[in-house]
Structure 1
Amino acid sequence: MDIGDREAVLWGSPIELRAQDRLRRVRDALLRTTLLPAFAMSPARLAHYVEQLRRLRPRMLFGYPSALCRIASHAQEHDVPLDGLGVKVAFVTAERLYEEQRAQIAAAFSCPVANGYGGRDAGFIAHECPDGGMHITAEDIIVEIVDAGGQPLPAGRTGQIVVTHLATQDYPFIRYATGDVGALGTAPCACGRGLPLLQHIEGRSTDFLTAVDGTVMHGLALVYIVRELPQVRGFKIIQESLLRTRVLLVCLPRLDAATRAAIVSGFQARLGAQVDISIEEVDEIAAEASGKYRYVVSRVA
Structure 2
Amino acid sequence: MRLFDFSLFLKRFPIKRAKEELLQISEIKEADYEAFLSVKKAKIVNYQLEHNRFYRKKVKGSFSDWESLPIMKKEDYQIPLQERLTKGFSEKNVYLNKTSGSSGNPIRFAKDKYSHAITWAYHMERFGWYGIDFNTSLQARYYGIPLDTIENKTVQLKDFLANRHRFSILDLSEKALDEMLEVYKKKPFDYINGYTSSIVLFAKYLKEKNIVLKYVCPSLKVCIVTSEMLFEDDKNLLEKHLGVPVVNEYGCSEVGVIAFTNPEGEWEVDSKTLFMEILDENDKPLTLGKEGRIVITSLDNKAHPFIRYEIGDYGALSEKSTSKKPILKKLLGRTNDFALLPSGKKAAGMTFYVITKKIMEESGNMKEFKVIQTKIDTFEINYVSNEILKAEKIKAITETLEQFLEKGLTFHFNRKEQLDRTASGKLKQFVSMVIQ
Measured against the shorter chain, the TM-score band is 0.7 to 0.9
SS at match of 1:83: helix
Compute the TM-score of the two structures, normalised by the length of structure 2.
0.62
**Aligned: 1:105 with 2:238:** yes
**Aligned: 1:61 with 2:192:** yes
Match of 2:181 in 1: 50
Match of 1:36 in 2: 167
| Pair 1:76–1:40, CA change in 2 (3 A) | same
Match of 1:202 in 2: 332
Contact 1:165 1:174 in 2 (8 A): yes
| Pair 1:148–1:39, CA change in 2 (3 A) | farther
Match of 1:264 in 2: 398
- Superposed CA deviations along residues 252-281 of structure 1, whole A, max 9, x for unmatched, are 222233333333333333332212212222
Match of 2:121 in 1: none
Give 1:175 shift: 2.0
Q: In the alignment, which of 382, 387, 409 is matched to residue 253 of structure 1?
A: 387
Contact 1:40 1:286 in 2 (8 A): no
Return 5+ residue gaps in structure 1 as ranges.
none
SS at match of 1:255: coil
CA distance in 1, matches of 2:377, 2:162: 52
CA distance in 2, matches of 1:106, 1:17: 36
Q: In the alignment, which of 359, 362, 373 is matched to residue 225 of structure 1?
A: 359
Q: In the alignment, which of 12, 18, 22 is matched to residue 144 of structure 2?
A: 12
Compute the TM-score of the two structures, normalised by the length of structure 1.
0.88
**Aligned: 1:119 with 2:252:** yes
Moved more, 35-44 or 154-163: 35-44
Match of 1:153 in 2: 286
Amino acid at match of 1:7: Q
| Pair 1:285–1:182, CA change in 2 (3 A) | same
SS at match of 1:44: helix
Contact 2:144 2:423 in 1 (8 A): no
Q: In the alignment, which of 413, 423, 426 is matched to residue 279 of structure 1?
A: 413
- Superposed CA deviations along residues 195-249 of structure 1, whole A, max 9, x for unmatched, are 2221211222344444444153442244333333323332111123331111112
Contact 1:144 1:152 in 2 (8 A): yes
| Pair 1:33–1:282, CA change in 2 (3 A) | closer
CA distance in 2, matches of 1:150, 1:248: 37
- Superposed CA deviations along residues 55-107 of structure 1, whole A, max 9, x for unmatched, are 11201111112111122222333455412212111111111111111111111
Q: CA RMSD in A?
A: 2.5
| Pair 1:224–1:298, CA change in 2 (3 A) | farther
CA distance in 1, matches of 2:206, 2:357: 24
SS at match of 1:196: coil
Moved more, 128-137 or 215-224: 215-224
Give 1:41 shift: 2.1
CA distance in 2, matches of 1:230, 1:31: 38
SS at match of 1:149: coil
Return 5+ residue gaps in structure 2 as ranges.
1-130
Contact 1:240 1:299 in 2 (8 A): yes
Moved more, 142-151 or 102-111: 142-151
CA distance in 2, matches of 1:103, 1:147: 33
Give 1:12 shift: 1.9
Match of 1:170 in 2: 303
Q: How many residues align?
A: 297
